């Protein structure tokens, strides 16, 4: 392993050196830092040109400037954005944080939804559900992201803000949403016609009742989860996780998951006092989450069962889900103050920037403000990425389901859940192991169009602005950072392959 890492590190350094040399030479041809001064009618133009030549060492050949830049870069001096006279390190630090903030939620949601829908589509091959999902996937994949982003700003943001200001119950829309929910679950679960009708009716009724309750109770004007929502959501998560990963007949795993759900609902009340008495930050959040995971792992260990790891894993997943619900509930408690703030002006769904300027917010309101700014760009990125992951997972799962070991597993009498979850899914995830890390790193490099439309000062915007300003140092740092991250992504993909497929070994 050490030899493998050393070899890959040496190869990465060599590639980055060649890349930096080539890019610096190309930038010397493409950029002209003196272009604005040549057109300047000021009487001291020659003096300004001389000062800039001296500042940027433009009197030296480009390869000598490259060696000077490389020496400074190795020593940790990343140069200067000479237009604003700001250090490149500080600019990139804020830009990377902004880009990660934008893409993290979008990537996680895209993977979870894309893999799930792709898996179900493969299991329902050549059914109406499969055809609809295939059509939607190709449709979303073909949509240009700038067009989706503009439509979201024009219709979704304006429409939702207007609706929040004067909410009304649109019963035809509620019924249509309930019908779509019924059709989705009937197609996803499949079965004979009688089963489909039962599933459709149940999903239709539950969706209709839930939407009617939310709208009639004024939830749109004052959204919240509350202890009842957390308890119901946690119990539902416990049942779903147990059914999927352990089987509902595994009583110890089921009891462990349900106990984790009950404990999570019980601690909701003391946590409300803690959130008031202690000034929260992300360090506190990470510590509380780690404590929750330890407690849930202990619950699973105490229940034990035929496979103690299954009970522990199920309890921890439920604990994570419950922790997220508690966090969201506390964030939504600040909605009235946030909505009535003068800086928000009754328009909470933001269309520009990463945060509201001048907003006097505590930790919780700051998270709500960040979420409202994340909503539209996240939806835009999810719609495009979701289609890609759906198609990848569907194709991979169909290939796996035709393998001999799947037929052998079924012939041995294993349940369909065990065949799909423990045998097929793990191998069907292998193509994504090489796609997801690269996609994530690519987005860190900058979702240029999305960041531009929504005015996010991320890596994409930094690159475009630096090119427009004829600034070499920020562009070079961007190239080096994204190149290094791309190599790290490929290294992570190699390790993921070794984790998913025990036949693969990572060595020299």
- Tell me what the pLDDT averaged over the chain comes to: 87
Q: What is the 3-state secondary structure (H, E, C) of 459-472?
A: HHHHHHHHHHCCCH
pLDDT band at residue 22 using 50, 70 and 90 as cut-offs: very high
3-state secondary structure 325-352: HHHHHHHHCCHHHHHCCCCCCCCCCCCC
Taking only the tens place, the pLDDT of each residue in 337-386 is 999 888 888 889 888 888 888 888 899 999 999 999 988 888 888 888 88
pLDDT per residue as tens digits for the range 264-289: 999 999 999 999 899 889 999 999 99
Assigned token pair, 345: 């002006």
Residue among 423, 455, 484 nearest 356 (CA): 455
pLDDT tops 80 at residue 4 = no
How much of the chain exceeds pLDDT 70, in percent?
96
| pLDDT, average across residues 414-431 | 84
> Is a pLDDT exceeding 70 seen at residue 500?
no
Name the more confident of 77 and 20.
Answer: 20
Lowest mean pLDDT among 264-268, 318-322, 326-330, 462-466: 462-466
User: Percentage of the chain surpassing pLDDT 90?
Assistant: 34
Give, to the nearest 10 degrees, the angle between helix 308-332 and helix 282-303.
150
The tens digit of pLDDT for each residue in 115-160 reads 899 999 999 988 999 999 999 988 888 888 888 888 888 888 888 8
Gyration radius from the chain CA atoms:
27
* For residue 249, pLDDT beyond 80: yes
Q: How far apart are CA 227 and CA 224, in angstroms?
A: 10
Cα-based angle 375, 380, 381 (whole degrees, multiple of 5): 100
- Predicted confidence at residue 380, as pLDDT, reads 87
State residue 486's pLDDT score. 80
Cβ-in-10-Å burial (0-12, 13-18, 19+) of 267 comes to: middle
Check residue 415 and give its pLDDT: 85
The answer on pLDDT for 178 being more than 90 is yes
Rounded CA gap, 124 and 186, in Å?
11
pLDDT band at 1 (very low <50, low <70, confident <90, very high): low
């Amino acid at each position: 392993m050490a030899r493998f890492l050393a070899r890959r590190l040496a190869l990465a350094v060599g590639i980055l050196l060649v890349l930096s040399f080539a890019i610096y030479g190309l930038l010397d041809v493409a950029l002209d830092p003196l272009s604005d001064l040549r057109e300047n009618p000021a009487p001291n133009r020659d003096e300004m040109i001389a000062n800039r030549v001296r500042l940027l060492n433009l009197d030296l050949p480009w390869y000598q400037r490259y060696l000077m830049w490389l020496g400074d870069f190795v020593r940790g001096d990343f140069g200067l954005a000479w237009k604003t006279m700001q250090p490149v390190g500080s600019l990139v630090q804020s830009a990377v944080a902004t880009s990660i903030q934008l893409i993290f939620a979008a990537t996680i949601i895209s993977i979870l939804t894309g893999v799930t829908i792709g898996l179900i589509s493969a299991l329902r091959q050549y059914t109406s559900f499969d055809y609809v999902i295939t059509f939607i996937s190709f449709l979303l994949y073909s949509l240009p992201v700038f067009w989706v982003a503009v439509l979201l700003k024009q219709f979704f943001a304006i429409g939702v803000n207007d609706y929040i200001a004067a909410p009304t119950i649109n019963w035809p829309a509620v019924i249509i949403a309930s019908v779509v929910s019924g059709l989705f679950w009937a197609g996803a679960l499949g079965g004979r016609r009688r089963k489909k009708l039962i599933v459709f009716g149940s999903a239709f009724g539950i969706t209709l009742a839930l939407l009617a309750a939310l709208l009639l109770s004024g939830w749109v004007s004052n959204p919240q989860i509350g202890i009842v929502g957390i308890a119901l959501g946690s119990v539902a998560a416990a049942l779903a996780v147990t059914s999927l990963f352990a089987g509902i007949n595994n009583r110890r795993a089921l009891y462990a998951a349900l106990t984790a759900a009950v404990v999570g609902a019980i601690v909701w009340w003391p946590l409300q006092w803690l959130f008031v008495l202690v000034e929260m930050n992300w360090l506190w959040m990470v510590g509380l989450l780690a404590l929750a995971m330890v407690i849930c792992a202990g619950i699973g260990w105490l229940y034990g069962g035929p496979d103690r790891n299954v009970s522990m894993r199920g309890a921890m997943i439920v604990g994570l889900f419950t922790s997220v619900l508690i966090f969201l509930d506390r964030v939504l408690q600040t909605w009235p103050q946030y909505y009535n703030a003068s800086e928000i002006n009754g328009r909470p769904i933001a269309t520009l920037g990463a945060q509201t300027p001048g907003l006097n917010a505590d930790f919780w309101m700051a998270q709500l403000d960040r979420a409202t700014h994340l909503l539209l760009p996240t939806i835009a990125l999810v719609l495009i990425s979701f289609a890609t992951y759906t198609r990848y997972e569907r194709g991979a799962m169909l290939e796996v389901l035709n393998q001999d070991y799947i037929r052998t597993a079924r012939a041995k009498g294993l349940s369909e859940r065990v065949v799909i979850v423990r045998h097929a899914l793990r191998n069907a995830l292998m193509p994504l192991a090489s796609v997801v890390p690269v996609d994530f790193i690519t987005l860190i490099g900058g979702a240029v169009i999305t960041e531009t439309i929504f005015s996010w000062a991320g890596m994409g915007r930094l690159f475009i602005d630096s090119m427009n300003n004829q600034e070499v140092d920020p562009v070079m740092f961007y190239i080096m950072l994204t190149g290094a991250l791309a190599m790290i992504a490929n290294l992570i993909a190699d390790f993921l392959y070794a984790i998913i497929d025990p036949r693969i070994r990572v060595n020299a």
